Amino acid sequence: MIKLLIAEDHQMVRAGLRALLEKAGDIEVVGEASNGQEAVLLTQKLAPHVLVMDIRMPILNGIQAAERIRGLKLPVNIVLLSMFSDEGLVHQALKSGAKGYVLKSAASEELLWAVRAAHRGETFLSGPVSAIVVDQALNPRMTGTSPDPFDNLSPREKEILQLIAEEHTSSEIGSMLAVSEKTVEKHRAHLMEKLGAKNLAGLVRLAVKYGLVDRETP
Amino acid sequence: MNSIILIVDDDPSSRFTLESILEGQDYSLYVAEDGKRALEQAEALKPDLILMDVMMPGMDGFEVCRRIRATPALAEAPILLLTALDDNASRLRGIEAGADDFLTKPIDRQELRARVRTITRLNRYRTLLEQRESLREMAQKLVTAQELERQRISRELHDELGQALTAHLIGLRLLQTDFSSQDSALHERLEPLILDTVDILNRMRQLAQDLRPPAVDTLDLPSALDSFCQEYSRRLHLPILFEAEPLPSVSDVIAITLYRFLQEALTNVARHAQATRVWVDLSTEDQSVSLTVQDNGQGFQENSHMSGIGIQGMRERLTIAGGSLTLRSAPGRGTVITASLPISATEAK
């Protein structure tokens, strides 16, 4: 038997989930929590094998509760339930250590598969959710940096590099670009890091090399 | 509209003199012969200037002055007191009573006209500024109310209708499982009902999601912005580099305003910029939070088609929230657009 805890703030849904899960035959519902905090406490107390938990809940939401449970190193596998298949939610949910992500509209057979998979320590995701994950894997976030460090500079950094090379002070540059002196300093530090310059003279030399200023410019 | 001037003097001949000096110069002139009537008239007229003699029987000019300053609706009304020549004691009392300026009797026509013109113009300008500010505040309240209403409806859809529908769906599925062994015809007939319910649930979810991005409610602001950048980056095959400074927790209004700003700014990049790289920075400084979106695309001549890419709308929304928008672009040099919002103006929830 799979010992299971349900965490769901909506009473009707909780009752429905209990009926659905108990009907499966191989699952025993050992408790019900109505918010994230309660879910953490009951997980500690009842030591279920699997926790089925709604993401949107009061006090602690499902993702926060999952993170806390992972922090406490409790030996439970978590299946998160959500109305949404939002990318950010999916990403955070999986990062929180959840084994399953099931959409509420698919709460039936799919949920049972997810619970059994989680019990075996495997991952199960609803169709639309796995589509997102696959898409994320196939088209990873594009961070590609160019081999030429100059291409990696943002327009603002290029502008600031040029103004530095033209011998403007940080406060002058700040008022020209309507940003604070502190922001200019920050950009300058970024520039030195990105371009591998050790000091201002290095930056100026690179600005000349990239053609941002003429050699003759005073 | 003419400036309204209230003349207060107990002496009919000096009232007449004052009226005749100011007549024919686009002022609406009203007179009061004593302090009591002056207060009544002032409350009714909300004059742009009160021109008042100090020496009056009963309530003198100083007392009227004090009472006007104590009336909230009139507290800002300019008061010009008429005093005897070189009466420094009266001037001091007048200042204490709240008068704005003094004119000595006998009255110099040119000087009176010049002073009155300056004061009424300034007062018009101040009133205009006040009205503009109160309009902005009203617009902000309206936008906040609208945002709260969207949030409320979205929550209601998700937490009440969505949950009820989910419970309903689970019930239908349980029912279908029960019938599967006994009555396969009934089992079949339940199927379209279940599919319809799933469809309704999906449409409702989409509606809730459009009203209010779920990421803003579940994740902290940097994570919500980052996940949006990620999604966009993959959808457009465009590198978007996201950086965020550690951020104090911000109000809901700030979070949703910046999230929507990012959505619009990235949509602009996708539509117009032909960029190969985008930088998104979230930073804080001196009680304000800024989100900057930069691209290395084709850029444009500032002021050329700024209205065409919805910059005006973005600027308006930020101004209403008490913030500002700055934009820099030049052909071939990409675009830098920044939204800044004060953290203190909208108190954190």
Q: Which residue of B lies nearest to A8 if distances are taken between CA atoms?
A: B163
Give the per-residue pLDDT at A76: 93
Average of pLDDT values for A186-213?
84
Give the per-residue pLDDT at B98: 87
Q: How far is CA A167 from the centre of its chain?
A: 42
| Residue A179 with chain B: CB contacts under 8 Å | 338
Two structure tokens written together for A68: 């806390």
> Cis peptide leading into B106, omega within 30 of 0?
yes
Average pLDDT along chain B? 85
Which residue segment(s) compose the domain that B243 sits in?
A: 218-342
Using a CB–CB cutoff of 8 Å, tell me whether B324 touches chain A: no
Task: Reduce the secondary structure of chain A to three states and give it as a string.
Answer: CEEEEEECCCHHHHHHHHHHHHHCCCEEEEEEECCHHHHHHHHHHHCCCEEEEECCCCCCCHHHHHHHHHHCCCCCEEEEEECCCCHHHHHHHHHCCCCEEEEHHHCCHHHHHHHHHHHCCCCEECHHHHHHHHHHHHCCCCCCCCCCHHHHCCHHHHHHHHHHHCCCCHHHHHHHHCCCHHHHHHHHHHHHHHHCCCCHHHHHHHHHHCCCCCCCCC
The residue among A104 and A212 whose pLDDT is bigger is A104
Asked whether residue B73 is domain-assigned, the answer is yes
Asked whether residue B266 is domain-assigned, the answer is yes
Give the per-residue pLDDT at B2: 83
Beta-carbon contacts of residue A82 (< 8 Å; ≥ 6 apart):
A54, A55, A56, A62, A89, A93, A101, A102, A103, A104
pLDDT, one tens digit per residue, over B138-192 is: 887 888 888 888 888 988 888 888 888 988 888 888 888 888 777 788 888 888 9
Two structure tokens written together for A152: 């990696």
DSSP code, position B162: I
Beta-carbon contacts of residue B206 (< 8 Å; ≥ 6 apart):
none
| Residue B282 with chain A: CB contacts under 8 Å | none
Q: Give residue limits of the domains in chain A.
A: 2-138, 149-209
Residue B334 has its nearest CB partner, among A141, A143, A155, at A155
Using a CB–CB cutoff of 8 Å, tell me whether B285 touches chain A: yes
Report the CATH superfamily, name and number, of domain A2-138. Response regulator (3.40.50.2300)
Q: Does B335 lie in the same domain as B222? A: yes
Instruction: Give the Cβ contact number of residue B210 at 10 Å.
Output: 10
Asked whether residue B112 is domain-assigned, the answer is no
Residue A140 binned pLDDT confidence (cut-offs 50, 70, 90):
low
Q: How far is the C-alpha of B90 from the C-alpha of B96, rounded, in Å?
A: 10
Average pLDDT along chain A? 86
Using a CB–CB cutoff of 8 Å, tell me whether B238 touches chain A: yes
Range from A6-10, A143-147, B68-72, B192-196 carrying the lowest mean pLDDT: A143-147
Q: How far is B174 from chain A (nearest CA, A)?
A: 6
Average of pLDDT values for B248-262?
86
Q: Does B165 lie in the same domain as B247? A: no
Two structure tokens written together for B275: 């960029």
Is B307 a residue whose pLDDT tops 70? no
**Do A155 and B335 make contact, defined as CB atoms within 8 angstroms?**
yes
pLDDT, one tens digit per residue, over B106-130 is: 888 899 999 999 888 888 888 888 8
Q: Which residue of A lies nearest to B228 if distances are taken between CA atoms?
A: A88
Is A146 a residue whose pLDDT tops 80? no
Q: Does B267 lie in the same domain as B159? A: no
Give the per-residue pLDDT at A50: 94
Instruction: Give the Cβ contact number of residue A128 at 10 Å.
Output: 15
Q: Which residue of B lies nearest to A144 if distances are taken between CA atoms?
A: B239
The 3-state DSSP class for residue B81 equals strand
| Residue B75, CA atoms < 13 Å, CB-side half-sphere | 4
Q: How far is B141 from chain A (nearest CA, A)?
A: 27
Is B346 a residue whose pLDDT tops 60? no
Type of residue found at A59: I
Give the per-residue pLDDT at B306: 56
pLDDT, one tens digit per residue, over A28-58 is: 999 999 999 999 999 999 999 999 999 988 8
ipTM of the complex: 0.71
Which chain A residues in 170-189 lie under 8 Å from chain B, judged by CB atoms? 177-180, 182-183, 186
Range from A133-142, B230-239, B316-325 carrying the lowest mean pLDDT: A133-142
Beta-carbon contacts of residue B159 (< 8 Å; ≥ 6 apart):
A10, A56
Helix (H) or strand (E) holding B84: strand B79-84
Q: How far is CA A40 from the centre of its chain?
A: 21
DSSP code, position B134: H
Q: How many CB pairs under 8 A join A and B?
A: 146
Q: How far is the C-alpha of B245 from the C-alpha of B134, rounded, in Å?
A: 34
Residue B341 near residue B288, CB atoms below 8 Å? yes
Average of pLDDT values for A168-191?
86
Average of pLDDT values for A145-165?
81
| Residue B201 with chain A: CB contacts under 8 Å | 83, 104-105
Give the per-residue pLDDT at B37: 92
Q: Does B100 lie in the same domain as B154? A: no
Is B349 a residue whose pLDDT tops 60? no
Using a CB–CB cutoff of 8 Å, tell me whether A91 touches chain B: yes
Q: Which residue of A lies nearest to B195 if distances are taken between CA atoms?
A: A105
Type of residue found at B242: F
The 3-state DSSP class for residue B281 equals strand
Two structure tokens written together for A114: 């997810």
Q: How far is B171 from chain A (nearest CA, A)?
A: 6
Two structure tokens written together for A216: 């003759």
Domain count, chain B: 3
Q: Does B223 lie in the same domain as B337? A: yes
Suggest the residue from B181, B277, B328 to mutate for an interface test with chain A (most A CBs closer than 10 A). B277
Is B345 a residue whose pLDDT tops 50? no
Q: How far is A75 from chain B (nearest CA, A)?
A: 25
Class of domain A149-209: mainly alpha
The residue among B217 and B338 whose pLDDT is bigger is B338
Q: Which residue of B lies nearest to A12 if distances are taken between CA atoms?
A: B167
Asked whether residue B195 is domain-assigned, the answer is yes
Average of pLDDT values for B283-300?
87
Is B266 a residue whose pLDDT tops 80? yes
Is B323 a residue whose pLDDT tops 80? yes
Asked whether residue B121 is domain-assigned, the answer is no
Q: Does B182 lie in the same domain as B86? A: no
Q: How far is the C-alpha of B16 from the C-alpha of B22, rounded, in Å?
A: 10
Q: Does B299 lie in the same domain as B228? A: yes
Average of pLDDT values for B8-22?
91
